[in-house]
Amino acid sequence: MLKLDIFLSGLANGLLIGAVYALISLGLTLVYGVLHIINFAHGATLTAAMFAVLIAHSVFGIDPYLAILVLTPLFFGLGYAAQRFVISPASHGDDSNGLLVTLGLSIIIENALLAIFRSDTRSIDVAYAFSTVEIGNLFLSLPRMIAFAGAFAVSLALWLVLARTDTGKAIRAVAKEKAGATLAGIDVDHIYAVTFGLSAACLAIAACLLMPTFLVNPRIGNSFVLVAFTIVVLGGMGSIAGALIGGLFIGVVESLSGLYFGESLGQIGIFLIFILVLLLRPTGLFGARA
């Protein structure tokens, strides 16, 4: 049946993009869960990462998927440094100051990109950008399937890091009880910075996965990040499982409403969900205290 195929296609695409949304949201929810601040620079960081992929490809000829190897450690370092040397000292430990500092960073990054790249929308051309894979009656975009797989792999890796490694356990300890963690000898400043670094690294990977099929301009990060905020608030601030499930859910909602109601209304739908969740259940479906 034609209609079923359209629906399934919308569903499948929603899931595919949802995984990448989830990856983008992971960093945001992790930073909130551990540092208890909302990183308003998250969107700008994603935009910067996407531009980095653009440069890697157009200037150095590096394939976006290979760029993962270069950009991930680079962005980890940038995120680490930003938290350790800018955000933390400037905030003096005050959360509302932290809010303003991340806002300041987002203004700087976004407008620096604007100054360098102007507001033109660009994309990269890779050979496989339009390849498709046939599953049943559906034709699914190959890059998007790779993105889906990549996002899941990274989420799994992140989960393993948090669950099995010493650093991961330290992160969880700081998230739960900072004072206790300090007493146990954990360097909280370092852990905060590592968390930020992980968040930025996830964004770098997400950027590499997105670029084959997406456009980039200095404002693109914002649209992704408002989706990310919605996911994080829906799934619960600080909950990784929430970010994953929320990501898939929002991906499907966006895809299906875009299919049936048109692009711009789809965007509003997401915002409305965002506001409704904030007003009715700010702790989200899986989250801890607001």
Partner 1 sequence: MKTAMTQATYWPILLVGAALALLPLVLTTNATLNFLTFAMIITLAAQGWNIIGGFGGQFSFGHAAFFGTGAYAMALLQVRFAINPWLALPLGTALGGCAGGIIGYLSFRARLRGSYFALVTLAFAEILRIVANAWGFTGAAAGVLVPLRLDPVQMQFNDRRIFYWLALLLVVIVLGASRAIMRSRFGAQLIAVRENEDAARALGVNTLVAKLSALIISAAITAAAGALYTQKFLYLDASLAYGSWISVDALLGAIIGGPGTVFGPLIGTIVLLGLGEVTKTLFAQLTGGALPGVDLVAFGVLLIICVAFAPRGVIGAVRGAVGARSATP
Binding residues for partner 1, per CB under 8 A? 37-38, 40, 86, 89-92, 94-97, 99-101, 103-112, 114-115, 118-119, 218, 226, 229, 233, 264, 267-268, 271-272, 274-275, 278-280, 282, 290
Closest distance to partner 1 from the beta carbon of 97 (Å) = 5
Helices assigned H by DSSP within the chain: 2-35, 42-58, 64-81, 88-91, 95-117, 142-164, 166-176, 178-183, 188-210, 220-235, 240-261, 263-280
C-alpha 27/C-alpha 203 separation (Å) is 7
Query: CB-wise, 38 or 154, nearer to partner 1?
Result: 38
C-alpha angle with apex 83: 23 to 232, nearest 5 degrees?
A: 30
Query: CB-wise, 114 or 253, nearer to partner 1?
Result: 114
Query: CB-wise, 52 or 109, nearer to partner 1?
Result: 109
Query: CB-wise, 151 or 232, nearer to partner 1?
Result: 232
Closest distance to partner 1 from the beta carbon of 96 (Å) = 6
Give the rounded distance of the alpha carbon of 181 from its chain centre: 27
Query: CB-wise, 97 or 167, nearer to partner 1?
Result: 97
C-alpha 185/C-alpha 225 separation (Å) is 35
CA nearest 33: which of 203, 177, 143?
A: 177
C-alpha 27/C-alpha 195 separation (Å) is 8
Both structure tokens of 52:
């980095």
Closest distance to partner 1 from the beta carbon of 234 (Å) = 13
Query: CB-wise, 53 or 277, nearer to partner 1?
Result: 277
Give me the residues paired with residue 216 across strands.
122
Question: What 3-state class would DSSP assign to 135?
Answer: strand
Query: CB-wise, 88 or 255, nearer to partner 1?
Result: 88
Closest distance to partner 1 from the beta carbon of 31 (Å) = 11
Residues making up the chain, counted from first to last: 290
Closest distance to partner 1 from the beta carbon of 84 (Å) = 14
Closest distance to partner 1 from the beta carbon of 216 (Å) = 16
Closest distance to partner 1 from the beta carbon of 116 (Å) = 8
Question: What 3-state class would DSSP assign to 215?
Answer: coil
The sign one gets for the Cα dihedral 40, 117, 123, 5 is positive
